[in-house]
Each structure stands twice: as structure tokens, then as C-alpha cells.
Amino acid sequence: MTDFIHRYEPATNAGSPPLLLLHGTGGDENDLLGLGKMISPGSALLSPRGRVLEHGMPRFFRRLAEGVFDEEDVRRRALELGAFVADARKQYGMTAPIAVGFSNGANIAAALLLLKPDVLAGAILLRAMVPLSDPPKAELGGKPVLLLSGQADPIVPASNSTKLAALLSEAGARVDHKVLPSGHQLSQADVTLARNWIGSVAAEAA
């Protein structure tokens, strides 16, 4: 399998969609397992560790400064991650997962949607930014995306998350964008909204 350190927890409920958990800067493969279980009990969980180190902290791609991405690296790393997910699906017998990404993990999930749309069934993007200034023309064919932004987020300007919502909508995703009264950190509202959204997506697919 592609060389990602990762955790995999098999599904305990056949009706729950598999989740691809993508941590933020400094997180690891254990970081979002609790969140995954809270928002979709019984889902299979696939949680890789980012392979880029920034001052010893794992990330999914390199950045030049806060909010300034090495876009060549974004593209390369998104394709690597897509290959890992394809391998994991074969190994573990999974259907296409819904990505649940926080911060840096949400940004690589957004890049994956734009670069390899067939890899994901949808995405929950928590505090995401536009990952590529000149993204390819993607065909997202109605894939569901929940984008949760923080009103007082010091890292992600409101205009940037609005632009990301528009970009994904134009590519054909069904985007639900909510701005919460919070900063960059996650809140109970994120958990509740994500859980309700996954429930409605699973019900549609049933």
C-alpha cells in the first residue's frame, strides 16, 4: 500500500458511510478518530498521517507561509493521498469514503475533490481554504459537501471560504456552507451539524 502511516477501524454498522479522517497541522492518525465516531457511529474509519513535516509537525502538504500554499506540492500530495485511498479501498473492501478534514486536512480534502473527484463520495470541510489558485475543471456531479467556517477564524478569511464554496458549487458539488460563531477551533456546533448532515446523506444513499 502507498506509504502512509494510518489507522483503520472497520465498520460496525453496514448503513454508515466510510470516513476518511484528515487531521490538521501537528495532528496524527489518532487525532480525529473520536470525532469520526461522534459524527457517524458505526462507520469504517480510515485515518492517515500527513507525510510532510513542518518543524516536526505532520501536515498533508507544504506551505510557504500561513495561508500561502506550495501549490505544486498540494497537487502532488493530493494525488498520493488519492492513490492511498484507492489502495485502502481494495485492501479493506470499502466504498468511496466521505472525507472529514480539519484545517490542513480540510484543505487537502478540497484539493482531492478538485483533482481526483472519483476518490471521495463527499466531504465535510472544517475551517477549509481554497487549496489551489488555478484549479482544474472538476466534475463533481452532485457530490455532497458540508463546509463549516468560523466567523472569527484568524487563519481563514471569510472571503476565502466563500470563494471555496463557490468554486466547489461551480464544479457541480451540492455545497452546504455554514458560518459558525467561533474561531479556528472546532465547537460542539460543528459536531452536531456534521452528524446531522451525515445522517441525511446516508439516508439519501439508502
Angle ∠(27,144,61) on CA atoms, nearest 5: 30
CB 113 within 8 A of CB 80: no
Instruction: Specify whether the CB–CB gap between 130 and 110 falls below 8 A.
Output: yes
Distance CA 43, CA 118 (A): 20
Contacts of 163 (CB under 8 A, 6+ apart): 130
Count the Cβ atoms, other than its own, within 10 Å of residue 27. Answer: 22
Where in the sequence numbering do the catalytic residues fall?
103, 153, 184
